[in-house]
Structure 1
Amino acid sequence: MKGTYLLLIQLDHKATIKNRWVLEAGLYVYVGSAMNGLLQRIGRHLKKGKKNHWHIDHLLQHGKILSVIMLPCEEKLEENVSNMLAEKFGGPKGFGSSDLKVRTNLYKVDDMNAFCSLLGRLIEKFTKS
């Protein structure tokens, strides 16, 4: 299965990631894609004690995944989803987005109602049959 996913992450304390990003405690959403195995990629993120490879791996040493949202699709939607999140939320420049034309793939969720509304729009837009 191919697709794009979102990880809802709780960061209980301020954390410095890779000596580059200082993140305040709070709720974050990370956007990723897995065009060669969506379930395997999400399983990797949920696994403890893995080798750090991506920016998100370093963040997950400090935070915990509260929820996973999958958008199974043959087409890579990561950039589109990230752009929709960027309309409402901000995040650290360059996080998880070095291969895309977006500012970041990590967003601080400071308005849960706005996030839930946006999530509904994402699901509606990208899961139509």
Structure 2
Amino acid sequence: MKGTYCLIIENKKECDLTVGKKGNFHFEKGFYVYVGSALNSLPGRIKRHLSSSKKLFWHVDYLLAAPHTRVIEVVFASNPHKVECAISSNISLKSKEIPGFGSSDCRCKSHLFYFKDSTESIKICKDSFLKNKLVPQDLSQLSLK
């Protein structure tokens, strides 16, 4: 299954983190939305992000490895096309971008966005999927076996 996903990540503590070769990033306490895609195995990619034992590879892996962060929700849609940049563009209109995060392979300013409120972040993700004619789903609708 191919698709696009948003990880809604709670950061319980203001901090600075080194993110691979990108260097240091400052993260405020609050909620972050990371937008990604999986053009091979969407369930496998999401399962990897939810795992606590993995090699740090993607920018978001460094954020998820911090002891004070956790994924609180996943919004995704199965689709054969890469639409993560369109989703990111929509989300960026209503959030604070983290410049250069998660967007090394495209022209987007960012694929990570800050929100003070979790409910707002989830709603904006779902609205962005709908705006791109995708049906947003959550983890209850995905088998991660």
In structure 1, runs of 5+ residues without a counterpart are none
What is the 5 A alignment of 1:96-115?
96-111=102-117, 114-115=120-121
Are 2:14 and 1:17 equivalent residues in the alignment?
A: no
Answer yes or no: is the 8 Å Cα contact 1:89–1:110 preserved in 2.
no
Q: Is residue 30 from structure 1 mapped to residue 34 from structure 2 by the alignment?
A: yes
Say if 1:11 and 1:75 are closer, same or farther in 2 by CA, change over 3 A.
same
Residue ranges of structure 2 left out of the alignment (5+ in a row)? 136-145
* Residue in 2 that maps onto 1:86: 92
Is 1:57 aligned to 2:64, yes or no?
Answer: no
Partners of 2:52 and 2:123 in 1: how far apart? 31
Can you list the C-alpha shifts for 1:30-88, whole angstroms capped at 9, x where unaligned?
Answer: 10011111100000001112110111000001210000111110010100000001111
Q: CA deviation at 1:127?
A: 1.9
CA distance in 1, matches of 2:119, 2:110: 21
Per-residue CA deviation, residues 3-48 of structure 1 (Å, 9 max, x unaligned), is: 1100000001122221420111111111001111110000000111
Indicate how the Cα distance of structure 1 residues 120 and 31 shifts in structure 2: closer, same or farther if over 3 A, else same. closer
Q: Give SS of 2:96's match.
A: coil
Separation in structure 1 between the aligned mates of residue 134 and residue 98 of structure 2, nearest angstrom:
28
Q: CA deviation at 1:117?
A: 4.3
Code of the aligned partner of 1:3: G
Q: Secondary structure at the match of 1:20?
A: strand
Aligned counterpart, 1:69: 75
- What's the CA shift for 1:109? 1.2
Of the structure 1 ranges 44-53 and 10-19, higher mean CA displacement relative to structure 2 is found in: 10-19
8 Å CA contact retained: 1:4, 1:76: yes
Structure 1: distance between partners of 2:83 and 2:13: 31
Post-superposition Cα deviations, 1:80-114, rounded to whole Å, max 9, x if no partner, equal: 00000111111221001011111111100135565
Normalised by the size of structure 2, how large is the TM-score? 0.81
Q: 1:28 to 1:99 in 2, by over 3 A?
A: same
Of the three residues 41, 48, 51, the one matched with 1:47 is 51
Count of aligned pairs between the two proteins: 128
How many Å separate the matches in 2 of 1:17 and 1:103?
Answer: 19
